[in-house]
Chains A and B, each alone.
Chain A
Amino acid sequence: MTVYRLTTPISEDETRKLKVNDEIYITGTMVTARDQAHKRALELHAENKKLPLDLEGLAVFHCGPIVKKHGDKWRIVAAGPTTSTRMDIFEGDFIKNFKVRVIIGKGGMGQRTTEAMQRYGAVYGAFTGGAAVLAAKAIDEVRAVEWFDLGMPEALWILGAKEFGPLTVAIDSHGNNLFEDVRDRAEENRKAIYRKLGIR
């Protein structure tokens, strides 16, 4: 396991160095996106329209934050990760079209996303579920918010991150998927556990 501190924009080469189990911290620009934001971004792309910002080399965070306005400045109250599997249907195209390098969330993602990460050079960083205080601490500014019409949790929040982590690289760009490995191994262990408990 190696610890990496990455600064956005992150290059494809840097991304390719990362292996499952590595621990990473991200500094720079991080964008929140859930189902609706993924959908809109892909629709705009299909119509040859531009996104509010260039996502190449950035980190995308599966998160519906609680954000409060103090005067004219937004401040993050809580920003824990949401379950990533819901974004599986969008993520492959998202990675391909926008060249984001790090997808952050919890619970892992499936085959399609793993393949896209391998082909285009991106990784999945698992952030501890529920660790909202740690997340909020590493987000030092809200730079902008786009697509606010989608609602606070679904909007595209453009955040300034400082050493955001620790993230465990759970899917790397070489086709490895730690969540799937763990699930497969647990399945293999099931029989031995039954035997140990005297279950026939």
Chain B
Amino acid sequence: MDIESLTEKVGYDLLRLAVTELPRDVKEALQKAHREETSEAGKTQLKAILENIQLAERTHTPMCQDTGTIIFYIRAGAEVGRLEKVENALIEATRRATVEVPLRPNAVDPFVGKNTGDNTGRNIPFVNWEIVPGNSLEITVLPKGGGSENVCMLGMLVPGEGLQGLKKFVVDAVMKAGAKPCPPNILGVAVGGGADVALKLAKKALLRPIDQHNSDPEISELERELLEAANLTGIGPMGLGGRFTVLGVNVDYAARHPASYPAAVAFNCWAARRATARILENGEVEHITHRNR
């Protein structure tokens, strides 16, 4: 297979699909929230969200004006050749999607303030790599909105406070964020590893479908507990009050240094966009999160 042109094509398709159609689990969670929301204002906001995502899907238009910072996650089979071509192909895919979908140009030079105009710049799109056995290439895109990114939190907690410290940290993060990240949100939570590892794992946890239970029963219970706690704040859809502040909480962790307890919370907004596809050895493409329309 020609990995370069295939990756570019798949990268482009994934960007287009991600910004115009939510994955099934998020859509269903929003529908359920709309059915079960008891606050009038919250229900109105959820109705608007549902109408908006339907319209976006039907008209192939980005569901939110902020099409985010573009982040890719790659799971590359160790036997796939010419992997050095992948990042360039994803940059090209991003450029093309910016013009054709279109995406809002969101890559700004932090020092001179100049917008590059095509969503690419130093280290952007950011590509995360994981090498796995086999000969297929799995690509996931996470276009990450600014409003929800601005409330992400890292805390170097006190190890002695343990799990209680973590729970408090998450509740406080949700309270502090309030209406800013366009709730209902999805939370990625991670502990351990060190400051960088905790944040990386927290953000990556946003990729897991929210209707999938954690395989570890204790963590699954923690996720349920955090979800319930976040929703007891009553912040509700768009901060107007209600039962649904958070749609799902995904937790991950790494071993930690005895003296540190890094904890991270990554927020995604209702426009929780992500798309995944796999390029197989024979060049066939398998779409995982979306039907390729």
A130 touching B233, Cβ below 8 Å: no
Determine the chain A residues whose CB is within 8 A of the CB of B147 once the complex forms. Answer: 129-130
Chain B: minimal CB distance from A143 (Å): 21
* Contact of B188 with A by CB under 8 A: no
A-B pairs with beta carbons under 8 Å apart, 8 shown: A21-B41, A83-B180, A130-B65, A132-B65, A182-B239, A192-B232, A197-B229, A199-B167
A179 touching B239, Cβ below 8 Å: yes
Determine the chain B residues whose CB is within 8 A of the CB of A183 once the complex forms. Answer: 178, 239
B62 touching A132, Cβ below 8 Å: yes
Q: B15-37: contact bitstring with A at CB < 8 Å (1 yes, 0 no)?
A: 00000000000000000000000
* Contact of B193 with A by CB under 8 A: no
| One of B50-58, B87-95, B124-132 contacting the partner | B50-58
* Contact of B99 with A by CB under 8 A: no
When A128-B49, A130-B63, A132-B64 are in contact, do A194 and B234 touch as well, CB less than 8 Å? no
Chain B: minimal CB distance from A127 (Å): 8
B66 touching A197, Cβ below 8 Å: no
Closest to A181 in B: B241
Considering the chains assembled together, what is the distance between the CA atoms of A178 and B240 in angstroms?
6
B232 touching A131, Cβ below 8 Å: no
Interface contact tally, CB-CB below 8 A: 137
B229 touching A193, Cβ below 8 Å: yes
B interface residues with partner A (beta carbon < 8 Å): 40-41, 44-45, 47-49, 51-52, 55-56, 59, 61-66, 104, 145, 147, 164, 167-168, 171, 175, 178-180, 182, 225, 229, 232-236, 238-241, 269-271
Chain A: minimal CB distance from B83 (Å): 35
A interface residues with partner B (beta carbon < 8 Å): 1, 20-21, 23, 66, 78-80, 83, 106-108, 126-134, 136-137, 165-166, 168, 170, 178-179, 181-183, 185-187, 189-190, 192-194, 196-200
A133 touching B63, Cβ below 8 Å: yes
When A1-B40, A107-B179 are in contact, do A194 and B63 touch as well, CB less than 8 Å? no
Closest to B245 in A: A186
